[in-house]
Structure 1
Amino acid sequence: MYEGAVILESLRVGTELTRIPLVVRKISRYDVSSATTGRPQVWSVLEFEVEDWHAETLSRELASTLDAPGWYADFHNAMEIFVVFPGRVFRYARGDAAARADAQAFGRELGIPEPQLDWTE
């Protein structure tokens, strides 16, 4: 089982994720006064679980539905991590510092602020 989160405002308008059964663990809304220019000041976060056999499909679906630039979603299990950007998926073993650095570097290229490149390791 993978656990993760997606900021709902990061999804393109008109997006529907219907083919992947997600278990919703929590829905929260946060005031993000530090949001960069062009970002909403309030974020809605959906925390979820997804079965192992749906992880790859979910990563592809998110890669095609996340708004660009500067958004990502992530999810992980005990052994690996998916970090999904618009049009790009990073999948690596937990603890692989080089792969994490590659994903963070890509996020920086998209203009994601450093404090937000903090997904669960």
Structure 2
Amino acid sequence: MFSGAIIVESLRVGSSLGDVPLHVRKVARVEVTGATADQPAVWTILEFEVEDRYAEPLAENLQAVLDRPGWYADFHDEREVFVVFPGRCFRYPRGDEHGRAEAQAHGRELGIPEPQLDWTD
């Protein structure tokens, strides 16, 4: 089972995340310090779990619905990590510093502030 989080405001207006059954663990609204000019100051965070067989379809769906610029979603299990950006997904074994560094470099290219590149590895 994979677990992760999606910032609801990161989804493009008019898009939907369908065909992948997510088990919602928690929904929270948080005020964010350090949001970019393109990001709202309050985020809705949806924490979820997804069965292993749906991890790749979820990553594919997220690549298609995440908004630009500066958004991503991540999820992981005990073995590997998915970090999904609009149009691009990074998948690497947990603890793989090279895989994490590649994903973070891509995030920087999209203008994501350094403090936001802090997913669980």
Q: TM-score, normalization: structure 2?
A: 0.98
Q: Which runs of 5+ in 2 are unaligned?
A: none
The answer for the alignment partner of 2:3 in structure 1 is: 3
The answer for the alignment partner of 1:35 in structure 2 is: 35
Within 5 Å, give how 1:11-90 maps onto structure 2.
11-90=11-90
Separation of aligned partners in 2, 1:100 and 1:38: 24
Deviates more, 1:80-89 or 1:15-24: 15-24
Deviates more, 1:13-22 or 1:54-63: 13-22
- RMSD between aligned alpha carbons? 0.6
Are the counterparts in 1 of residues 38 and 69 from structure 2 also a CA contact under 8 Å?
Answer: no
Separation of aligned partners in 1, 2:38 and 2:104: 21
The AA in structure 1 aligned to 2:101 is A
Residues paired across the two proteins, number: 121
Secondary structure of 1:81's partner?
Answer: strand
Compute the displacement of 1:6 (Å): 0.4
Secondary structure of 1:108's partner?
Answer: helix
Compute the displacement of 1:69 (Å): 1.3
Secondary structure of 2:45's partner?
Answer: strand
Secondary structure of 2:89's partner?
Answer: strand
Q: Give the percent of matched residue pairs that are identical in Structure 1 and Structure 2.
A: 64
Secondary structure of 2:63's partner?
Answer: helix
The answer for the alignment partner of 2:97 in structure 1 is: 97
